[in-house]
Amino acid sequence: MKKQMLFILGMVCALTFGQEVPNISPPTPEAAALGKFIDIPVSLHTGTPNISIPIVNIAEQEINIPVSLNYHASGIKVNEIASRVGLGWALNAGGMITRNVRGIADDDPQGFINTSNTVSNYFTSNASEKNLLFQNAIDGHQDYESDVYYFNYPGGSGKFFFDQNGGIYSHPKNDLIINYTKDNSNKIVGWEITTETGLIYTFGTIPGTLDTVLETKQSRIRAQNQNLPSAINFYTSGWYLTQIKDHKGNRIRFNYTRGTNEIEYWNILEQKKYIQASLNGDCTTPGVSLTFSEDRYFPTYLTSIVTPKGSIHFDYTISRTDLKNDKALSKIELKDTNNKIVDRYLFEYGYFTTSAWEHFGNYGDLDQRTKKLYLQKIKQQKGNTINQEHNFTYYQEHPFPERFSFDRDFWDYANGVDNQYLYPEFAYTTNTGPVHVDGGDRTVDESHAQTLLLKEIEYPTKGKTEFVYESNTVSGGAAFFAGNRLTSKLIIGSQVVNSNVPGETVSSNFTLNESGIVSYRTSFSQNCLGDPTRDCPTIKITKANGDLVLTFRNANETGVMDLEAGTYTISIKNGPFLSDGAADISFYKQTIENDNNNPSNVAKTGGLRIKEMRFKDDNGTILNTKKYTYNQFDNTGLSSGLSLNPPVFLIKNAPFRQGPNSCFFNVIQSNSIFPFNGQSTYHVGYTNVTAYNTDKEQGKTEYTYSFFADAGGFGSSNEYVWSENFYPFAPAVDYSHRRGLLIREKTYKYNKDRDTFDEVEEIYNTYKKQGDIRIDNIAMGYVGSAGAGYLGYDNLSERYLLEQTQKTNQYNSGAVKTTIQYGYDSGYQGRTMPIQTTTTDSNAETVVTKSYYPDDVISTTALGKALTTAEYNTISKLKKKATQHRIAAPIQQETYINGELTSRQRTKYKDWNTSIVLPEIVQSAKGDATLQDRIEYLDYDTNGNPLEVSQVDGRHIMYVWGYNNTQPIVKIDNASYTGIPAAVTTLINQLKTTSDTEDTAAEETTMRTLFKNLREHAYFANAQVSGYTYDPLIGLTSMTNPQGQTAYYRYDDMNRMQYALDQDQHVVEQVRYNYQGQQSDALGGVIIDTPGDQPKVPNQPATFTANTSGSGSANLYTWSVNGAQEQCGSGVSFTKTFTSEGTYEVKVLAYNTKHRVSHTMSVIVKYPELTTPLVNANYTHIVKGTNVDFSASSIGGGTGNLRYEWYLNNVKQTSTTTTFRYNPNTAGTYNVYFKVIDNESGKSVNSAIR
């Protein structure tokens, strides 16, 4: 259960920002997770449960730092080393940027971003220069590949890469700004990532100091049959998160300490077997080789996270035996600003131990090979008392092999086979016939693969969750066991070879039936790059209309293109003399190849997926079981699993050179040539998943996910073999961002009468490419010792965004369909957030919402009514790559219904303190009317907290911030800081000071006394004063209303709200936390009551109360008006002040842990009719020359903003008050009447003639 360090409702509800005064005062605390103790979501595309144990959560305004332990339940690999919180677990706290080095490190003197020998330079070099550059790259002195960088921080993760100008590109494209800092030696020492909301994450460097927090590593490779290791490779492998800063200047700091003793660990890299294929001369077969990696580094420990509200401390006092010189996390403490411990968690561990294998005793540490640290329990401690425990149980039905064991499947999970070889048993064909090679059995064993995996969690309530796993699967498969495979098939008509006639053009057409990625391969007998005098053929591809798509470089290369559906022409034009030889080109499309001879084949692949989660009470009784199936919807006998690459272990005809002799060997290796998971974190993705409960009556849900193959990869072959012709093995173009996207979600209810599932709702999403950038890289290497080669490939940054969501609900009366279309900037450089949404219902009614952000304001008149120069300059500070990069800050929003503008809202910003840019005025208007001020922020404090706000009616609201300016402690309605007496200022300062150090009940009482003193001060005689006290790291502890009545809130040992008490300490609300699956009383329905008669009056508060029926009650209510959420909380009442006349739909959604019910009522809001006034006079018959006084009464109704006019014989008089004096100069009859006019509505009413 997540700790409520913020207002709990902030975790449940996302309140929308409208035209009302911001709700800065805290809501009543509410139970987290709607009464469920824990729920475990599943990443359905991969079948991996998201198991997380929340520890603490601390926040500072817009920055939220959740600390938790997360478990990855896909399986434990044989060579896996436990983290500092146990095998399979990871501490989620802080963040880091790491990198995967390709070639040499980018910031090496000749690295990708520092070298002058760029990729483009390589292609334009002559042959001798190329040979030198190639050899330098092979020897580690030149770099043609960007490293890949991975970042994670609270609330965000992703990856990026460089171009050779030092530009940074994210994969996929996002709206982050990433900058780096180098030291004097051009080494990267720090990074800054700025989000679209202006949050700045600093990595590596410590702001305000010259210190850095880096992870540096030295690595080398050692072969078993060689005495000398490789050269040491020393580089920075990671940069730790050191600070988060928001646009208001609030900061959270992360502190670290560095271990003094170096950690060393070993891994088996691979085993190879060489088989002679052919030779010229006398060659010796190398036989079998085994290589190890040795890594060394000094450990870095996160020791504290410090915020203005408090701090989180991490202790490491448990020395590890499975990883010498490292320590396990022993304790986490949450402390307030007075250094008082609010919460403490203790961690207990054990070791899984296995017997040592008889091989390789000289490599690595014995304990490191045979022991694995695992997490046994987490204890929560209050004082000296252990209050709560989480206990963990793991699968141990089989012994686990030691880390250097060969007893593993192709994916390195245990398979229980006593293998003598790590490379697999293999059969392949040669010119002389079939060849069989003895090797290890690397097939999957589901039971052994589960060994040491998390089996059960016992929660503090003694309830349990049991996890049941099964092997991943794929279907189809042409050979071996791999299930399905991706194969590159030649596109008909796309293969063209030039003729031997000088100047002649040869062409061919091919057609693509659908848009997508195609790969190509060009071959030239001569390298003509960089030499315009060469007589080389030219290859071009054009569209059917003649538009040029690409002219290919005159060199051997492979690559990929993203082509639209249509017909294309490939042409090769020879030079005028054809002195520089032959050329050819061919295009391939990657497809999934299935075994039609065995269509029912379902093959197991490495790793595990969740099959069932069983939720039990403290007696072990199963309360509920969630089940998941992964078969194809239209053929339940087949798995919907798809894998990127099958195992490919054999390289045929690899060239070697031994002295003067040239030889060719077939090489079988233990590692697949192509990564099973490409550049993803998983190797199997499911396109069809069904989730359901044991109880049919709860229905079921079907999910369809996207799958998109990486461009490149292995070629077409009848065997899982790779030819030396395509070495080196360059990374495929990464399309992982296109995989696992939700395409369709169908929800079904159970029809008991027919014993069937009936569809009740369908959600259908479509996505679209919105531009990309590709960065050229070159992979270089040898196959064997003589086959040199290079292969170009792209790093891809692509905008791939949600284009449309279609929701269809099925009712007895028919289907109701709603479609939402999302509009974006055009082109790669555009933002990834939508700037327009178009909602269309079943009646073809449309609602268009246009959003304008800082970068849309390109002039003072870009939004219509002109901005002042100061307002425009302030907005400019929010723009992309500007001072604050707050590109998601809303400036203006427009709503159109059926093409007609119905409303606008604009937010004006102000630079309040040279660096703090915050809203000053919120304006709105109906239709194309003039924008009117609705809310004005009059002042903020130095932390960006609003101090005073005014409303459209001129009423001011004051706020007082305490607890070191982190919490609102007083809200004063109808009062201002302007003109405030010194005595009141003294009271406020006294209250703030008391709150800063408040940590006892007596000090809370002192604060409530000061609330009373403020409330009773004469300055606030016409104001409403509310006061609040907190435990800032837990939640609201009391709330005193303007009448002086105080409500109190009590929390349990896990810091969850348990009781709400009234001013007499009587319990008015109790929250119970149920086991997942425990039944709650049923909600029968809900209605809305509202006191008083309809219609409601604008600008006057209207209260609505929800009344539920049934055997149960609700503990959460969500209120919305015209579809926009206004309030979410435990209170049954909702108060709304409507600002204009009209008809509104007020809806309440009532929840408990099991059910939810809703009700909608139409509310008419209009001003009352103007009251017909009465006119009195002190005379009825008047003597000429005598003053007569008229007075009006019974005035009222309307908006209350009224003016008055008097008429004599239908002539308007000068009086504008409720009295009128007239002195008749002549005799006669005079008609007098009084007129009341509403200034806002324009309506009027006349009195009777007097």
pLDDT in tens, 340-369: 898 899 999 999 999 876 667 677 788 989
Q: What pLDDT score was predicted for residue 455?
A: 98
Q: Which residue shows structure tokens 């099959």?
A: 611
The one-letter code for the residue type at 336 is D
Q: Which residue in 647, 631, 522, 533 sits closest to 580, CA to CA? A: 533
* Cα–Cα distance, 767 to 1195 (Å, whole number): 61
- Range from 27-41, 388-402, 882-896 carrying the lowest mean pLDDT: 27-41
Reported as a single tens digit per residue, the pLDDT across 781-800 is: 766 666 566 778 889 999 99
Q: Provide the 8-state DSSP code for 195.
A: -
Annotate 1059-1096 with three-state secondary structure. Answer: EEECCCCCEEEECCCECCCCCCCCCCEEEEECCCCCCE
Residue 1145 tokens, joined: 């739909």
Does residue 391 surpass a pLDDT of 60? yes
Does residue 596 surpass a pLDDT of 70? no
Are the C-beta atoms of 333 and 313 separated by less than 8 Å?
yes
Q: What pLDDT score was predicted for residue 1203?
A: 93
Pairing of strands 385-394, 371-382: antiparallel
Residue 582 tokens, joined: 């032959």
Are the C-beta atoms of 1138 and 1180 separated by less than 8 Å?
no
> What average pLDDT does the segment 503-523 reach?
86
Residue 869 tokens, joined: 């120069």
Would you call 1134 helix, strand, or coil by DSSP?
strand
Q: What is the mean pLDDT of the chain?
A: 84
The one-letter code for the residue type at 721 is V
User: pTM score, two decimals?
Assistant: 0.77
Considering the domain 1085-1165, what is its CATH architecture?
A: Sandwich (2.60)
* Cα–Cα distance, 173 to 168 (Å, whole number): 11
Are the C-beta atoms of 490 and 638 separated by less than 8 Å?
no
Are the C-beta atoms of 1216 and 1115 separated by less than 8 Å?
no
Cis amide leading into 728 (omega within 30): yes
* Cα–Cα distance, 1162 to 1160 (Å, whole number): 7
Rounded to 10°, the helix 1001-1016/982-997 angle is: 160
Q: Which residue shows structure tokens 């305004």?
A: 61
Pairing of strands 1142-1151, 1116-1121: antiparallel
Q: Which residues have C-beta within 8 Å of that of residue 58, sequence separation ≥ 6?
A: 5, 65, 67, 305, 307, 309, 310, 311, 312, 334, 1033
* Cα–Cα distance, 638 to 592 (Å, whole number): 15
Would you call 785 helix, strand, or coil by DSSP?
coil
Does residue 532 surpass a pLDDT of 80? no
* Cα–Cα distance, 364 to 372 (Å, whole number): 14
Q: What pLDDT score was predicted for residue 13?
A: 34
Does residue 909 surpass a pLDDT of 80? yes
Would you call 874 helix, strand, or coil by DSSP?
helix
Q: What pLDDT score was predicted for residue 485?
A: 41
* More confident of the two residues 1149 and 1174: 1174
Pairing of strands 650-658, 721-723: parallel
Does residue 595 surpass a pLDDT of 70? no
Does residue 1112 surpass a pLDDT of 80? no
Q: What pLDDT score was predicted for residue 710?
A: 80
Q: Which runs of consecutive H residues, i.e. helices, occur in 823-913?
A: 869-876
Please state, for a pLDDT cut of 90, what percent of the chain lies above it.
47
* More confident of the two residues 1077 and 490: 490
> What average pLDDT does the segment 848-869 reach?
92
Reported as a pLDDT band with limits 50, 70 and 90, residue 1133 is: confident
Does residue 599 surpass a pLDDT of 70? no
Helix (H), strand (E) at residue 711: none
Point out which residues pair with 593 in neighbouring strands.
485
Radius of gyration of the chain (CA): 37
Which class for 1091: exposed (0-12), middle (13-18), buried (19 or more C-beta within 10 A)? exposed
Q: What stretches of 61-209 adopt beta strand conformation (E)?
A: 63-72, 89-92, 96-100, 148-153, 156-162, 168-171, 177-182, 188-194, 200-203
Are the C-beta atoms of 895 and 911 separated by less than 8 Å?
no
> What average pLDDT does the segment 551-560 reach?
72
* Cα–Cα distance, 419 to 406 (Å, whole number): 6
Q: Which residues have C-beta within 8 Å of that of residue 249, sequence separation ≥ 6?
A: 915, 916, 942, 943, 944
Does residue 70 surpass a pLDDT of 50? yes
> What average pLDDT does the segment 107-113 reach?
93
Are the C-beta atoms of 93 and 67 separated by less than 8 Å?
yes
Does residue 483 surpass a pLDDT of 50? no
Q: Provide the 8-state DSSP code for 18.
A: -
What is the CATH code for 1174-1246?
2.60.40.10
> What average pLDDT does the segment 1117-1121 reach?
85
> What average pLDDT does the segment 510-517 reach?
83
Are the C-beta atoms of 1073 and 461 separated by less than 8 Å?
yes
Residue 282 tokens, joined: 């006398």
Give the distance between the most distant pair of CA atoms in the chain.
145
* More confident of the two residues 834 and 1142: 834
Q: Which residue shows structure tokens 């005073």?
A: 948
* Cα–Cα distance, 830 to 386 (Å, whole number): 54
* Cα–Cα distance, 28 to 20 (Å, whole number): 19
Residue 1077 tokens, joined: 């699956």
Reported as a single tens digit per residue, the pLDDT across 603-661 is: 888 899 999 999 998 888 998 899 999 999 998 888 999 887 767 777 777 777 777 77
* Cα–Cα distance, 1171 to 1193 (Å, whole number): 10
Residue 1058 tokens, joined: 């348990």
122-143 exposure pattern, b = at least 16 Cβ within 10 A, e = fewer: bbebeeeebeebbebbeeeebb
Does residue 876 surpass a pLDDT of 60? yes
Q: Does domain 488-592 fall into CATH 1.10.3720.10?
A: no
Reported as a single tens digit per residue, the pLDDT across 439-456 is: 899 889 999 999 999 999
Q: Which residue in 608, 668, 671, 643 sits closest to 410, CA to CA? A: 671
Residue 161, CA distances (Å) to 100, 547, 775 in order: 10, 32, 9
> What average pLDDT does the segment 1144-1156 reach?
77
Q: What pLDDT score was predicted for residue 266?
A: 87
Q: Provide the 8-state DSSP code for 875.
A: H
Does residue 26 surpass a pLDDT of 60? no
Q: What pLDDT score was predicted for residue 16?
A: 30
Q: Choose the most confident range, by mean pLDDT, from 308-312, 553-557, 596-600.
A: 308-312
Q: What pLDDT score was predicted for residue 726?
A: 47
* Cα–Cα distance, 38 to 53 (Å, whole number): 9
Please state, for a pLDDT cut of 70, what percent of the chain lies above it.
86
